[in-house]
A and B are shown apart, each in its own frame.
Chain A
Amino acid sequence: MKKILTVPIRDEDIDGLRAGDVIYLTGTIATGRDDVHRRVVAEGMQSPFDLRGGVIFHAGPIVRRTPAGNELVAVGPTSSVRMEAFQAGFIEKTGVRVIIGKGGMGPATAQACRQFKAVHCVAMGGCAVSAASQVEAIQDCFWPELGMPECMWVLRVREFGPLVVSIDAHGGDLFAATRADIAGRREACQGPIVDSVKNYMVVD
């Protein structure tokens, strides 16, 4: 059965999640990536949308402006690691509970997830039309001067997902585990290739 969480997210929702769980979200979420995070954390600006108990989506959509209004053409996750420098501060300052992006994040974000009861989830990268089909409406747009990808779009979503919990609030971190696994295997994978080319510079 689908595990669907409704925004605003409560403490007990976060407590019940473990890295590797698959969830879907229903409610209102906001996009925010490099510039939004920089404004809120480094420039000290207030998030224009109240994110307490909310969801920030590392994403920059394609929006078509039509006479009837803004049409969401495509939206999907961007590499979350770019926001690592600001993410912990962003969680602390805004009270956001769910971060959606792509790929792993670093130890500071993982620590903030434990301290402030938040999770990081990954959405399916490159699946922008599928994701757009789960967005019911564009509710708002803040900071448009940042440009279409970087401004904050407020989206109403229904059963948005699948989202895989990658960092939970209990110390679980899917991508950290993968990175550790790679570190363990790497020498066995590259060693024979390094050996196979070691005589390539020998001139007969």
Chain B
Amino acid sequence: MTKDGARTILADVMERFLGVACKRLPDDVYAKLRECAQGETSPLQRAVYESYFENLRLAQQLDRPCCQDTGLLHFYIRCGADFPYIGVVESALGQAVARATASAPLRPNAVDFFTERNTGDNTGERMPWLHWDILPEGNQLEICVYFAGAGCSLPGRAQVFKPSDGYGAVVRYVFDAVSGLALNACPPLIVGVGLGHNIENAGVLSKMACLRPLGSANPHPRGAKLERDLLAGLNSLGVGAQGLPGNRIAMEVHVESSARHTATIAAAVNVSCYTHRRGFITFREDMTYSQSSYKGVEL
């Protein structure tokens, strides 16, 4: 296959995938949202969840984006070093985003700094946002797409602590973020915590934490325990869906870490709203593909 041929396939398939992923929740998120609904008993919370599920049903029926804020498009990419078309990925994803803005349709949200004009098609300076992991083995292209809306971006924060502040500072920092602006970010949230040594390394990890499949756990026993403890602690704050009184402010807490500098502890918190529009799709070297996020959906 020529590079142009591969680019055409990638752009076409990703345009259709974006069209699916903005209109429904991935299966794991939908199931978790059902579970959260069971945990709420007040009439107000029940009414909120009824509205959530009715809206998701209508979005399917009318083939429309379930939330008007379709965000900016982030692609977290894991590409095998032997995948033959690595050079066309960036341009194909840009094309897919611009075309899906018209065909899905997505809300045009991209505004370039300094000109302050909406670009109209969700592309712009360094947008869509691409994060690359090159895998030393393998010939596949794995793409995680995420619709980064404003409501759940606004509470995001990162800070570098001194070792004397200890892990306790991280716990307090997560509570600061979630009990502050995250109330407005359409709970129940997925809370991503990144632990590293400086702000961008912790920030990227906090995003990877958000994107992790639900039901997965941090590989270290202490990390997994911290995830469970933070989830239980945050869900004891007395806040539920839409930041109104209730029992479940968070669907899940995920922690991702890297080694830290011996002299710093960096923490970042990223939250995702309940309409956690995140999908996984994998392309093989012959440009055939499979997606695992939406059972039974053909692109």
Contacts and interface: CB of A to CB of B under 8 A. Distances in A.
A interacts with B: yes
Interface of A: 59-62, 64, 73-76, 78-82, 102-104, 122, 124-130, 132-133, 146-150, 162, 164, 174-175, 178-179, 181-182, 185-186, 188-190, 192-194, 196-198, 200-201
Contact of B67 (A82, A126, A190, A196): A126
Given A102-B151, A147-B118, A164-B244, A126 B273 contact: yes
A149 B108 contact: yes
Interface of B: 44, 47-48, 51-52, 54-55, 58-59, 62, 64-70, 105-109, 111, 117-118, 120, 150-151, 154, 163, 166-168, 170-172, 175, 179, 181, 183-186, 222, 225-226, 229-230, 233-234, 236-239, 242-245, 273-275
A78, A122, A198 interface centre (most CB from chain B within 10 Å)? A78
A16 B127 CA distance: 48
Given A147-B108, A149-B108, A175-B183, A189 B236 contact: yes
B68 A102 contact: no
Contacts of A175: 183, 243
Contacts of A104: 183-184, 243
Contact of B171 (A60, A174, A190): A190
A189 B67 contact: no
A128 B154 contact: no
Contacts of A130: 51, 54-55, 58
The 6 closest A-B pairs by CB, nearest first: A103-B184, A147-B118, A197-B167, A127-B55, A128-B68, A194-B168
B167 A198 contact: yes
Nearest to B187: A125
12 contacts: A60-B107, A62-B68, A73-B68, A74-B68, A124-B55, A125-B151, A178-B183, A178-B245, A189-B234, A190-B171, A196-B225, A200-B166
Contacts of A185: 236-238
Given A73-B64, A162-B51, 8 more contacts: A62-B70, A62-B107, A74-B68, A79-B181, A127-B52, A128-B64, A147-B111, A197-B168
B234 to A, nearest CB: 7
Contact of B59 (A78, A103, A129, A148): A129
Contact of B167 (A78, A189, A190, A200): A200
Contacts, number: 175
Given A78-B150, A182-B237, A185-B237, A200 B68 contact: no
Contacts of A196: 225, 229
Nearest to B62: A129
Contacts of B229: 192-193, 196
A73 B64 CA distance: 7
B243 A103 contact: yes
Contact of B51 (A74, A80, A124, A178): A124
